[in-house]
Amino acid sequence: MNTTFLRRTPKVATVVAALALTTAGLAGCSSSGASEANGVTTLTFWSRATTAEPVSAPLVEAFNATHKNIQVKLTSVPDAQYVSKFGATARAGSAPDLVSFDDINAPVFAASGLLTDLSSFVSDLPSASTLSPGQRALATYRGKTYAAPYSGGASVMYYNKDLFSQAGLDPDSPPTDWAQLSSDVKAISALGGDVSGITLPGACPGCLEFTLLPLVWASGGNVLTAAGDNQTTTFAKSQPVADMLAMYQGFWQDGDIPKTDRTEDGTTWGQNFLKGQVGIHFGPIQLSTSAKSSGMDYGVAPIPGQDGSYATFAGGDVMGIPAASKHQQQAETFITWMLQSKQQAAIVDGGFTPGQLSTADADFQQQHPDLAVAVKALKKGRAPQSLATSAVFNDANGPWLGAVDQVVFSGSAPETALSAADATSNKLLSQANDQLGR
């Protein structure tokens, strides 16, 4: 399983400061990606290589075969290079005409002036009301929408039905609140041997963001105030954050989490679950492909809140048009086509959730029961909407990972660690807003 998209570690200076230089350089620039010859417009399209790129290639081929006057040239850009490369090409006046990128970067790209305002276009799309709401929110900056959901990667709860049965639990009744989650974890851990109740990727900040924040959101908590110039984190003020970390602190101290999880940086994340050594694992929906291949008897359910609700992290890619493009109409034609049911079904076949949630009709739910769970959860999907998400949540030396490590593994009081994390986070937020905010 590729977890590169969850192990993002760019510093705020890399993501924000580098793009801050872009804004000044955009005036007068025009895209050199598009070309026109014999009445045919050729658009360049950059797709993030670590996620939906494997399905983008055949879709681009299908589009080109059915559109005589518009042709699209696809380039796969490695995730680790995407931010810096996009900024550099924009400054040089050679940005592509279409981009699909990690949705978490949408606020930064929008604030940097890299993207075209697509507010009217997205609102007028067929079934606009059923586009992935979490991704659509991420692509909205200061009331304007700069991208449309393309492909998704929701976080869900996996559980080993064999271990549930061995522990005397109902294999068809996964936990729906924290009380049941805790009791199920304890029962599975009591089996002993090399079996653990639950996992925690302790050295992977993106993985922890992806899997722990839904527990908070599903419990009515939050980790950020509204996006804006004075945005702050709310780690210490949101009780579900402290409650969630205290729960995991208890799991660690009681031996319910594998000892190797403290140093798990995402490289082997999920492997102990696939080997049948873990009862409950929170992870990306893409893991279901490996679970099926392993032959294990597993189930998929939404990530639960304290009292029975659920949530998910709305990961994945959104698609936008660089501000310098002179062929917005043709680019919009391509985006509209990519969001139609047939193309979204091809994304699903590639193991991703659709950006257009209406794709999940009755036939879809029967053919893709695991993905159907993810789509259900995506209707309540969220993600941190901030100019400093990478610095706060995805940096291996950042405040989010630091707080989790201190509370869960070192036994610190949640209130103390979370207050310190707030102080550090708010300096990063202020720095990002000073450099990019408008």
As given in the structure block, the two tokens for residue 323 are: 């501000």
Q: pLDDT band at 54, cuts 50/70/90?
A: low
Give CA–CA dist 334/340, Å, rounded.
10
Give CA–CA dist 299/113, Å, rounded.
43
Task: With respect to residue 10, please indicate whether it lies within any of the assigned structural domains.
Answer: no
Task: With respect to residue 11, please indicate whether it lies within any of the assigned structural domains.
Answer: no
User: Are 94 and 142 contained in the same domain?
Assistant: yes
Q: What is the pLDDT of residue 157?
A: 98
Q: What is the pLDDT of residue 107?
A: 95
Give me the DSSP letters along 133-147: HHHHHHTEETTEE--
As given in the structure block, the two tokens for residue 382 are: 């969220």
Structural domain span for residue 398: 155-313+387-436
Task: With respect to residue 93, please indicate whether it lies within any of the assigned structural domains.
Answer: yes
User: Are 283 and 393 contained in the same domain?
Assistant: yes
Domain count, the chain: 2
Q: What is the pTM of this model?
A: 0.91
User: Are 293 and 417 contained in the same domain?
Assistant: yes
Residues 6+ apart with CB under 8 A from 377: 154, 155, 156, 214, 302, 303, 310, 311, 312
User: Are 234 and 124 contained in the same domain?
Assistant: no
| Residue among 245, 277, 282 nearest 259 (CA) | 277
Give CA–CA dist 54/208, Å, rounded.
26
pLDDT digits (tens, 9 = 90+) for 113-152: 999 999 999 999 988 999 999 999 999 999 999 999 999 8
* Mean pLDDT score, 302-329: 96
Give CA–CA dist 415/12, Å, rounded.
25
| Residue among 13, 10, 84 nearest 46 (CA) | 84
User: Are 130 and 253 contained in the same domain?
Assistant: no
Q: Say yes or no to pLDDT of 21 above 70.
A: no
Domain endpoint, select from 342, 365, 382: 382
Domain endpoint, select from 349, 367, 382: 382
User: Are 328 and 276 contained in the same domain?
Assistant: no
Instruction: Count other C-beta atoms under 10 Å from residue 229's C-beta.
Output: 11
Task: With respect to residue 179, please indicate whether it lies within any of the assigned structural domains.
Answer: yes
Q: Say yes or no to pLDDT of 173 above 80.
A: yes
Q: What is the pLDDT of residue 435?
A: 86
Q: What is the pLDDT of residue 438?
A: 52
User: Are 298 and 222 contained in the same domain?
Assistant: yes
User: Are 367 and 403 contained in the same domain?
Assistant: no
Q: How many helices (H) and strands (E) does the chain have?
A: 20, 16
pLDDT digits (tens, 9 = 90+) for 362-378: 899 999 999 999 999 99
Radius of gyration of the chain from Cα atoms?
22
CATH code of residue 196 = 3.40.190.10
Task: With respect to residue 426, please indicate whether it lies within any of the assigned structural domains.
Answer: yes
Higher pLDDT, 311 or 10: 311
Determine the Cα angle at 236 with ends 234 and 241, to 5°: 85
User: Are 370 and 424 contained in the same domain?
Assistant: no
Task: With respect to residue 24, please indicate whether it lies within any of the assigned structural domains.
Answer: no
* Mean pLDDT score, 147-159: 95
pLDDT digits (tens, 9 = 90+) for 4-15: 445 444 444 445
